[in-house]
Amino acid sequence: MDLRVIYDTGHPAYWNMGFDESLLVHLNEIGPTLRVYGWSPPAVSIGYFQSMTEEVNIQRAKELGVDLVRRITGGGAVYHKYELTYSITLPELRGRILDSYHLLDMGIIKALQTLNIDAKQAGINDVVVNGKKISGNAQTRKYGGLLQHGTLLIEVHPEEMFEILLVPEEKMKDKAISDVRQRVTSLKDIGVEIEFEELQKILVDGFKEALNADLYEEDVDEKIYDYAHKLEVEKYATHEWNFRR
């Protein structure tokens, strides 16, 4: 399989989600694409089924200049600041969606192996190291294809995260912070200090190996960007989308 690779930089949340969806919408024209990117400014993305007002301290996010966006995929809220994000679009795979996480999560597992880190898949969509989550992933199937996006944690800062993410009761905040410390890890926590660009390359090579793909670097046509911009403005930046649940 040929796999287009886009090494991207940090972008605002609305653009990131618009671009990922545009790559999925145009999958038949442009073929499978792997994009590795960051978020600038930092952002919180919430799962499709989540409520922004129940998950996020909106006032605090505004004060800290953190973007807020709803994804088209399920799962939980993610604080995007100290991590590398990927998105991959592929023609629909056969079989159950929940089973196909395993194949794509192998891209992350292979990348971590390159860094001499022994990682495993856990649950349906997480990758863990020493039993602690280092990567969360979410997938959807639409427009005749699939989109999976996920993160690989470079650092974890639970106190900073829970300045923005809400817990059901304020008194549970300390527990939430200690739970994250116990359940979540990062490359830094396991002694790996790595530049963003180097990690991008390692993750791309992980997917190459996992999918047995032939990689090529080629930018997409202007119309893919135009449609991404349309989605950015008309969907992902709107109150209607982000606060719909």
Residues in 126-145 at the binding interface with another protein, rule: CB under 8 A: 138, 140-142
By the rule CB under 8 A, 93 interacts with another protein? no
70 within 8 A of 21, measured Cβ to Cβ:
no
By the rule CB under 8 A, 124 interacts with another protein? yes
Our CB check for another protein shows the closer of 76 and 131 to be 76
By the rule CB under 8 A, 97 interacts with another protein? yes
Our CB check for another protein shows the closer of 140 and 185 to be 140
By the rule CB under 8 A, 111 interacts with another protein? no
Instruction: Give the whole-angstrom CA distance, residue 25 versus residue 29.
Output: 9
Beta strand extents in 71-213 (DSSP E only): 78-80, 83-91, 119-122, 126-129, 132-142, 145-153
* CA 185 to centroid of chain Cα atoms: 16
Our CB check for another protein shows the closer of 3 and 78 to be 78
How many residues bind to another protein according to rule CB under 8 A? 23
By the rule CB under 8 A, 65 interacts with another protein? no
- Over the range 125-161, which residues count as b (16 or more CB within 10 Å of their CB) and which as e? bbbbbeebbbbbbbbbeeeebbbbbbbbbbebebebb
Report the nearest approach of another protein to the CB of residue 149 (Å). Answer: 14
By the rule CB under 8 A, 125 interacts with another protein? yes
182 within 8 A of 156, measured Cβ to Cβ:
no
- Choosing from 72, 152, 184, 202, the residue that interacts with another protein (CB under 8 A) is 72
Name the site residues for another protein (rule: CB under 8 A). Answer: 47-51, 54, 72-77, 96-98, 124-125, 138, 140-142, 168, 245
